[in-house]
Structure 1
């Protein structure tokens, strides 16, 4: 079997899909994308095609090594995301050739279903109690939310109190038997992060995510971790096991590699194993499309230290429209806050190629928002 070609599809709302074809008619799908830089990743995917076309798709680890290390300049969000898409697609092909889901090739499941959470509140959270209550009604047992918009380096007492008030609203709607995850989205300075995580202890978050930007690691991140009893999570903007070691050394409780950014299924497995050495849990970042979610779930089912799975249904980035790119989306049916184990071969999904091709004729030009403070200076989104 040989890889004969690759195709990429830019599809709404902000996704990029990859199809890897072979001479035996078996194809695999991946989702290589950086949100807001989809065209750049697309160029990288095609640039890397010379390294895989004509090769045996079943040599997955060898391809991973060559795609990561085959250039003098390595890593970073763009190249790692391009690699991730290829890794998804090659595992998809391997499962289809053998007639089993990817998690069977990775050692078999360690659980029967995977817990998922739902996003609420949007970028600038409003109507928190109502939004959380709706997710509870839908059967979810955990939600995640931002608790602020722009945040000054040293916030006023009113701004800090507003963060706590939103978290209290969410906790009230959830009650004591469900979980609340809080995302700082890197908007908060280390000084304010230390203050806010202590304030938030009363609502007992499952974790506080990305309290500071990923550039801030080492002793500074460790100071945030040690400032309170709230578990700290991070990792959506880290791209390899080498990136994760310093944050694990700092004491984070939860790692959040993204299957579309951090080297795909192969590297997520290794990051999870590294986290296990530190007693940390895996909660993959996944606000993207169905291929990325399918890849993430294959890892979730074989990872002993897995905690919970992010998914993008109903997410504010969709603009109220839920695109359907699968022949049968019931594989992602959420029941009582869980999703069942996929049993189909490969990634366990069937991409509706005709729908994808039509959507790609329109494409998208999604960009990350650029925020500013009241004085006109740049603000972290």
Structure 2
């Protein structure tokens, strides 16, 4: 079996799929989405494809070494996402060749189902989370929900904003009760100094975690927070390798959140999870993307002992969801009581409607709108 084609499909600013085809008719699919940079990553994949065309797709780790380390300049979100999409597609192909789901090839399942969590976002300005949405999710069987702090957030924000944050988290706790939990995403919007202030202010609400309390370039400072709060700290969606995770693991985080579509794919995230296990840290893969990325996460979630919970943002309420329209047999990603049953199909465990993907490809999104642009009251740049 030889690789004959590598194609990319831009379906949106937050969805870039990769297809690896072979001379025996088997194909594997991956997700290489770097949000709002689909054209950049697609170009990187085209440049990397020479490492793969004409080769046997089955030795995935050997290919990963050449893709991730074959250039003198490596790493980072663009190249990491390109490697990730190709790696996921290679694992999907390997699973299909052997007629087994990827988690079976990684050592077999550690569990029978995967706990999910999703967002209880508020449409109201200045509010963190929506209690009614959180209450409905818990009623549907979710044991964990998440909300992001409203923004922009000042370097040391006002007492009024801090008090608002505290009231919002108290409302979330009341909504979910004490049989479920909520996490709070600080989204890298907060300074190390204000993060400590917020952690002190809301500790009584017992959040499951504070996510990304600092910007990734300040990861070396995260130990200042883990040492001064009882709230578990989660981070990692903008870290792309074991080497980048090691300092935050050593600093005492509780939950590692690598993104399979950014951090080198299944090969590297499995290794990150193994490294995290040595620090008694659990893994909750970051996944604000589509069904292919989610399916890849689920395969890793099943295979690692130290899995915590799986994020999703797409609508999984029924097989008729628009977010699952690219799949045939989408019911495999429809949860029961906030959990996904272990998929048993080969590879990623999902089936892609190739015609639908080709029809949805959009060249115009190669020039994306990008993320929102926020400013502080004085006109200075504010983190989104």
Normalising TM by the smaller chain, what interval?
A: over 0.9
1:269 matched to 2:298? The reply is no
| Structure 1 residue 327, shift from structure 2 partner | 0.8
CA contact (8 A) 2:120 2:130 kept: yes
| Structure 1 residue 148, shift from structure 2 partner | 2.0
CA contact (8 A) 2:13 2:35 kept: no
Structure 1, unaligned runs of 5 or more: none
SS in 2 for 1:4: strand
- Larger deviation: 13-22 or 91-100? 13-22
Aligned match of 1:185: 187
1:234 matched to 2:264? The reply is no
CA contact (8 A) 1:371 1:380 kept: yes
Aligned match of 1:248: 249
Aligned match of 1:338: 339
1:367 matched to 2:366? The reply is no
Aligned match of 1:304: 305
| Structure 1 residue 126, shift from structure 2 partner | 6.2
| Structure 1 residue 158, shift from structure 2 partner | 0.6
CA contact (8 A) 1:235 1:244 kept: yes
Structure 2, unaligned runs of 5 or more: none
| Structure 1 residue 197, shift from structure 2 partner | 1.0
1:284 matched to 2:310? The reply is no
1-structure distance, mates of 2:264, 2:275: 15
Aligned match of 2:330: 329
1-structure distance, mates of 2:129, 2:148: 12
| Cα RMSD, aligned residues only | 1.6
Aligned match of 1:42: 42
SS in 2 for 1:7: strand
1-structure distance, mates of 2:298, 2:279: 22
CA contact (8 A) 2:20 2:29 kept: yes
CA contact (8 A) 1:26 1:97 kept: yes
CA contact (8 A) 1:147 1:166 kept: no
1-structure distance, mates of 2:52, 2:171: 51
2-structure distance, mates of 1:165, 1:122: 14
| Structure 1 residue 217, shift from structure 2 partner | 2.2
1:56-111: per-residue Cα shift (whole Å, max 9, x none)? 10010010000011100000000000000011000000000010100010000010
The number of aligned residues is 376
- Larger deviation: 362-371 or 339-348? 362-371
CA contact (8 A) 1:12 1:323 kept: no
Question: Residues 166 and 363 of structure 1: is their aligned pair in 2 closer, same or farther, counting only changes over 3 Å?
Answer: farther
CA contact (8 A) 1:5 1:53 kept: yes
| Structure 1 residue 130, shift from structure 2 partner | 1.7
Aligned match of 1:135: 137
TM-score, normalization: structure 1?
A: 0.96
1:7-49: per-residue Cα shift (whole Å, max 9, x none)? 1110136200000000111000000021011110011011101
1:233-254: per-residue Cα shift (whole Å, max 9, x none)? 0000000000000111111111
SS in 2 for 1:72: coil
1:313-344: per-residue Cα shift (whole Å, max 9, x none)? 249xxxx9635211121111111111110100
Aligned match of 1:6: 6
2-structure distance, mates of 1:298, 1:55: 25
1:100-150: per-residue Cα shift (whole Å, max 9, x none)? 100010000010001000112158546711221222233222101012211
1:68 matched to 2:73? The reply is no
CA contact (8 A) 1:197 1:228 kept: yes
CA contact (8 A) 1:12 1:363 kept: no
- Larger deviation: 124-133 or 79-88? 124-133
| Structure 1 residue 171, shift from structure 2 partner | 1.0
Aligned match of 1:174: 176
CA contact (8 A) 2:241 2:268 kept: yes
Aligned match of 2:156: 154
1:85 matched to 2:77? The reply is no
- Larger deviation: 206-215 or 4-13? 4-13
